[in-house]
Structure 1
């Protein structure tokens, strides 16, 4: 989630980050780098481990491990035959830092710079106290574990330039809040069971009062005040259970809900308590025979919209995506071992307003579907070059003929 800072705070953060990295590299000799911690590929890792399951550089004389990733791309798109031409985008530069403070206590933060540093986002900054594998404590700025993509969003892990529509246009992507909670994992034979449960600050009235003129949960990301205090004194509850079989795959069920409106002020009742509830399911698996990787997520949103609002503000919403990735070539190329060429396809669907008009009983529009074929090349598992073609159709609330948009996207993403 983004914390919008003043220009002075931005300069301080940028200066500290630059100083830390350059001093570390200057002060250490070449052999001082202990190891580049690779992404854990063990079959007991769950999606909930994504925040730590990243490559880091560890230094002998520093208690801090450093890492990060870069995303950049170009895009050429046209809508209903009208093109805006070719553009280049510096999407994001993300830096993570982790530290083992003492035995059983560790800290990790993820800081994202978007649009060339125009926006600085603290997406994660939490202290973990390791009590036992089955139960651990976490506090700070936490990524709410709704669905799978919110926690597992690093660009180098995906074959597509754009993020899934359900994760950015239905749910607020990289949605994080201050709060506390517990998490843990249990293992038996080929099975792993994991859970997370958190109480945090949450949504506000902007989800039904925004520039989109519809029920739109991502609008709440713009409210940086939630890092200082709750909008209404009511905690947002987020919980997830994930079950994984080493040979089959992983299934996750998650929930996020709470009161979003300001219903009381100075002891005076302004409105009844109005809830927003989100239910999500996510899956991932690999078909061993063909080495085909499949990952998907679906979410259902229910919002208590005031009766005074028009029907363009939906009370029920749904969205889903599925990625299918097929390696077609894996071999040594130049000095790259096991470089991989993939074919992939993504299907996206979002309906911001499920239901029909009261007067005519005709379906309410406001939905989108898209298909994105892709070719990606990975010289290593930590770097990806990707070429995508995205075709989408989007209808307005009255179900007028859909606006058609086609986009060519070429980009790269890499850990460092």
Structure 2
């Protein structure tokens, strides 16, 4: 009996071995299952990441496509556009090139002796420019004065001040056609109210040189940078145009009435107007200006010569300008004409900023606020035309002292006082001294 219990049947061993084998197989199976599950998990995670990446990429592509087909507008600052003076740069999605949009406005207050004090919403200007291709561009300026044509007082007007196209060849010579600002006198080219430090334009820029003198014509412009040994700062630029020219609308109170039509001319002769400016160093410029053209159908001509300079010395800036126009007259003319127009001005600007103003409302939040103290002397003289208003040549001079504040380069608040004196007929303000203030903002 004892021997029988100590002997293990062979069948039991086989069962035991089977159990061990089953357990081993089960363990191997579970291990493989876990491995497979891990691999499946990795594949699923990888697939999800790929899907996520693809969705992200697709989303970015859609965003870019929408962006490419949508107008993009950036404010880059006035006078900083590739073409034109507008501060808004519009990137055209239709392959037409970039377009600049901007302008300026000014608001004035005048209180002169013997005149009613008045607010004047003087100008609202729109600038539009376009870079059609690397060498083809367009620029324009549309001006609305005193509310536009047929405003209640009848003084308003709306007109094209510039509208021209350029075909660029190289730095030295380029073609321009359209309505251009005549390149005669520095002020005529840089007349924008937000650029200037005084409200009233010089008498010369209103009565001797026609104010904002626009002409229709063709011409050339360019610049040179001749190197003279080691001296490489010299810059020479020029503009010259064939235009319709002035007509016979001038008088002994000014030339503005002689500005011609952009559509027709009163004679077959074309006038020429041009300017050559030389800059020996940055911040210094001297220019000579010329004009010649027939003003009637009798062969009589107006000929003009002008000089202007700009010199900066640190915070000091000196601007001067002189112009003379001589008028031919047919000897058999029934009445005398104003046979000459001449004038000049000198303006000194001092730019400064007291540091104690940085934390005041004048300086807080602005990068480069500026105060400018300004002094200018104007003078103009025009030959008599023997009209009934008075005899003798007409002459007027003005002394102005002013102060202005610029929180930004293109925003200015101006205050000034004028001392005016006139001989014979009034050109601008007569003998009426007075206070003038204005706000100008460019964008």
After TM superposition, the score normalised by the length of structure 2 is 0.73
**Are 1:193 and 2:236 matched, yes or no?**
yes
Deviation at 1:322, TM superposition (A): 1.3
1:205/1:262 contact within 8 Å kept: no
Deviation at 1:141, TM superposition (A): 0.7
Q: In 1, Cα distance between the equivalents of 2:422 and 2:329?
A: 23
Residues 54, 138 of structure 1: alpha-carbon distance in 2 compared, 3 angstrom cutoff: same
Q: In 1, Cα distance between the equivalents of 2:220 and 2:71?
A: 38
Deviation at 1:196, TM superposition (A): 1.1
- Higher Rg of the two aligned structures: 2
Deviation at 1:390, TM superposition (A): 0.8
**Are 1:65 and 2:93 matched, yes or no?**
no
Please name the residue that 2:48 is paired with.
none
Deviation at 1:149, TM superposition (A): 1.1
**Are 1:367 and 2:391 matched, yes or no?**
no
Which residue among 367, 372, 375 is the counterpart of 1:342? Answer: 372
Match of 2:368, SS state, is strand
Which residue among 206, 211, 217 is the counterpart of 1:179? Answer: 217
1:51/1:152 contact within 8 Å kept: no
Match of 1:150, SS state, is helix
1:305/1:314 contact within 8 Å kept: no
- List aligned pairs for 1:16-415, cutoff 5 A: 32-39=72-79, 54-61=85-92, 63-78=98-113, 83-118=114-149, 119-187=157-225, 188=227, 189-208=232-251, 214=252, 216-221=254-259, 223=260, 226-247=261-282, 249-263=284-298, 273-288=299-314, 291-307=315-331, 308=333, 313-329=337-353, 331=355, 332=358, 333-353=363-383, 364-396=392-424, 404-415=431-442
Match of 1:405, SS state, is coil
| CA RMSD of superposed structures (Å) | 2.8
Structure 1: stretches of 5+ with no match in the other structure: 1-26, 41-49, 209-213, 264-272, 358-362
Match of 2:246, SS state, is coil
Task: After superposition, give the CA deviation of every residue in 1:338-380 in whole Å (9 maximum; x if it has no partner).
Answer: 211111111100001289x9xxxxx944100100100100001
Of structures 1 and 2, the one with the larger relative CO (CA 8 A, separation 6+) is: 1
Task: After superposition, give the CA deviation of every residue in 1:80-111 in whole Å (9 maximum; x if it has no partner).
Answer: xxx32320001100000000112200000100
2:84/2:128 contact within 8 Å kept: no
Q: In 1, Cα distance between the equivalents of 2:102 and 2:84?
A: 11
Q: In 1, Cα distance between the equivalents of 2:375 and 2:205?
A: 17
Task: After superposition, give the CA deviation of every residue in 1:262-304 in whole Å (9 maximum; x if it has no partner).
Answer: 22xxxxxxxxx1010110101001013xx10111211011001
Structure 2: stretches of 5+ with no match in the other structure: 1-66, 150-156
Deviation at 1:248, TM superposition (A): 5.9
Residues paired across the two proteins, number: 348
Deviation at 1:150, TM superposition (A): 1.1
Deviation at 1:261, TM superposition (A): 0.8
1:204/1:262 contact within 8 Å kept: no
Residues 53, 330 of structure 1: alpha-carbon distance in 2 compared, 3 angstrom cutoff: farther
Q: In 2, Cα distance between the equivalents of 1:131 and 1:327?
A: 38
2:86/2:128 contact within 8 Å kept: no
Task: After superposition, give the CA deviation of every residue in 1:7-50 in whole Å (9 maximum; x if it has no partner).
Answer: xxxxxxxxxxxxxxxxxxxx99999333414546xxxxxxxxx9
Higher fraction of helix: 2
Deviates more, 1:315-324 or 1:376-385: 315-324
Residues 30, 297 of structure 1: alpha-carbon distance in 2 compared, 3 angstrom cutoff: farther
2:86/2:127 contact within 8 Å kept: no
Q: In 1, Cα distance between the equivalents of 2:91 and 2:295?
A: 47
Residues 274, 112 of structure 1: alpha-carbon distance in 2 compared, 3 angstrom cutoff: same
Q: In 2, Cα distance between the equivalents of 1:220 and 1:351?
A: 17
Higher fraction of strand: 1
